[in-house]
Homo-oligomer: A and B are copies of this chain.
Amino acid sequence: MSKRVSLKDIANKVGVSTALVSYVLNGLEKEKRVGPEVVKRIREVAGDLNYKPNQIARSLRKGSTNTIGLIVADIANPFFGQLARIVEDEAGKHNYTVIIGSSDENCVKSASLIETFLDRQVDGFIIVPSEGCNQEIESLVNKEIPVVLVDRFLPELSTSYIVLDNFGATYEAVTHLVAKGYKNIALIAYKSSLVHMQERIRGYSEAMKDNHLEQAIQIKELSYNRVKEEIEEGVSKLFDGNNKPDAMIFSTNALSISGLYALKNHKIRVPDDMAIIGFDGNEAFDFFYSPLTFIEQPIEEMGKESVRVLLDQIKGSKENVQIELNHRLILRESTGG
């Protein structure tokens, strides 16, 4: 491997110190400090030698790496893939690089990713927090390492975060179904104490109560790691029960997809046997024979804002910015057109 060109190589060739080369190449010569012909010569030689600064050395010296650590639940999940793409683009505009890790909603993996990224001296974190990982994130906060939570937040912790108006999203979903004449509305959720899930559940429950449907409340809470098995079971049970639902709301993208497979297997007709509302956009929603009404999240805004807020913190802002973004309910055939 041909050795990389360093500041020293340029300095030797021009006959000045590396310090001066560094000043010039970083545009800090302040003109007066050095003759214009030397500046020109340094630039020339740097160009000829195709000099590229070694960011690792610079990072060590400056104590910052221009790197953001992004931890999502699973980069293969389209919602997080899209989010990661926005983060990548936004960070890139500001000369930051992103390293990405998938936690699988698992606390041990999250902790290990945080540690790895910390060892690599990331300047800040954007994290989709998993259940029960408060401690790991709290320790970042205590160390005053910039961190922005996204998609969910931890109410016990005082951090910046960007989330959806989860309560409003499911509340509106119920309201829409009620307006369409549905009454036995079930919610499919994850078994999770995380606030985004609790808020989606609360939005559903409150809306049901406000519509005097509390006796029809049915919530199926599934385990993240056993969704496929449990959703089949859950759908069967809902249908064998006494108050068979006439509508279902899925509270995440992945649950929606799994739910659609279950409905397909059970040959349940949408919206005749049952109306359906999904979460997040998804191509599969469009090609389901009865295109899905769904709760749309502003992923782009979510990604952009999280980068913006994080960079502010990296630049020194001590303010916690807590943003709730608005959903949009996209109406289609699965709730009666």
A-to-B contact residues, CB < 8 Å:
1-2, 52-57, 59-60, 65, 74-78, 80-82, 84-85, 88-89, 92, 97-102, 115-121, 143-145, 257, 260-261, 264, 282-284, 286-289
Q: Compute how far the CA of A78 lies from the CA of B82 in the bound complex, rounded to whole angstroms.
A: 9
Given A264-B287, A286-B284, A289-B289, A65 contacting B76 (CB threshold 8 A): no
Q: Is the CB of A99 within 8 A of B97?
A: yes
Q: Compute how far the CA of A246 lies from the CA of B49 in the bound complex, rounded to whole angstroms.
A: 59
Q: Compute how far the CA of A284 lies from the CA of B260 in the bound complex, rounded to whole angstroms.
A: 11
For the complex formed, measure the closest distance between the CB of A96 and the CB atoms of chain B, giving whole angstroms.
10
Q: Which 5 A-B pairs have the closest CB atoms?
A: A81-B81, A76-B85, A283-B284, A1-B144, A287-B288
- Nearest chain B residue, comparing its CB with the CB of A109: B92
Q: Compute how far the CA of A257 lies from the CA of B286 in the bound complex, rounded to whole angstroms.
A: 10
Contact of A56 among B121, B144, B282 (CB under 8 A): B121
- Nearest chain B residue, comparing its CB with the CB of A86: B76
Q: Is the CB of A85 within 8 A of B56?
A: no
Which residues of chain B are within 8 angstroms of A1 by Cβ–Cβ distance? 143-145
Which residues of chain B are within 8 angstroms of A100 by Cβ–Cβ distance? 84, 88, 98-100
Q: Compute how far the CA of A116 lies from the CA of B88 in the bound complex, rounded to whole angstroms.
A: 13
- Nearest chain B residue, comparing its CB with the CB of A285: B287
Which residues of chain B are within 8 angstroms of A52 by Cβ–Cβ distance? 115, 118-119
Q: Compute how far the CA of A52 lies from the CA of B121 in the bound complex, rounded to whole angstroms.
A: 11
Which residues of chain B are within 8 angstroms of A75 by Cβ–Cβ distance? 75, 81, 84-85, 88
Which residues of chain B are within 8 angstroms of A97 by Cβ–Cβ distance? 99, 116-117, 120
Q: Compute how far the CA of A56 lies from the CA of B65 in the bound complex, rounded to whole angstroms.
A: 9
For the complex formed, measure the closest distance between the CB of A204 and the CB atoms of chain B, giving whole angstroms.
25
Q: Is the CB of B78 within 8 A of A85?
A: no
For the complex formed, measure the closest distance between the CB of A286 and the CB atoms of chain B, giving whole angstroms.
7
Which residues of chain B are within 8 angstroms of A284 by Cβ–Cβ distance? 282-284, 286-287
Which residues of chain B are within 8 angstroms of A264 by Cβ–Cβ distance? 286-287
Which residues of chain B are within 8 angstroms of A102 by Cβ–Cβ distance? 85, 88-89
For the complex formed, measure the closest distance between the CB of A183 and the CB atoms of chain B, giving whole angstroms.
27
Q: Compute how far the CA of A134 lies from the CA of B212 in the bound complex, rounded to whole angstroms.
A: 66
Q: Compute how far the CA of A74 lies from the CA of B121 in the bound complex, rounded to whole angstroms.
A: 26
Which residues of chain B are within 8 angstroms of A56 by Cβ–Cβ distance? 56, 59-60, 65, 120-121
Q: Compute how far the CA of A60 lies from the CA of B57 in the bound complex, rounded to whole angstroms.
A: 6
Q: Compute how far the CA of A82 lies from the CA of B75 in the bound complex, rounded to whole angstroms.
A: 7
Contact of A119 among B54, B89, B143 (CB under 8 A): B54
- Nearest chain B residue, comparing its CB with the CB of A59: B56
Which residues of chain B are within 8 angstroms of A286 by Cβ–Cβ distance? 261, 264, 284
Q: Compute how far the CA of A272 lies from the CA of B92 in the bound complex, rounded to whole angstroms.
A: 48
- Nearest chain B residue, comparing its CB with the CB of A53: B119
Which residues of chain B are within 8 angstroms of A283 by Cβ–Cβ distance? 257, 282-284
Q: Compute how far the CA of A52 lies from the CA of B139 in the bound complex, rounded to whole angstroms.
A: 14
- Nearest chain B residue, comparing its CB with the CB of A82: B76
Which residues of chain B are within 8 angstroms of A82 by Cβ–Cβ distance? 76
Q: Is the CB of A84 within 8 A of B88?
A: no
Question: Can you list 6 A-B contacts with CB-CB less than 8 angstroms, sorted by A residue number?
Answer: A52-B118, A54-B119, A76-B78, A76-B81, A97-B99, A287-B289
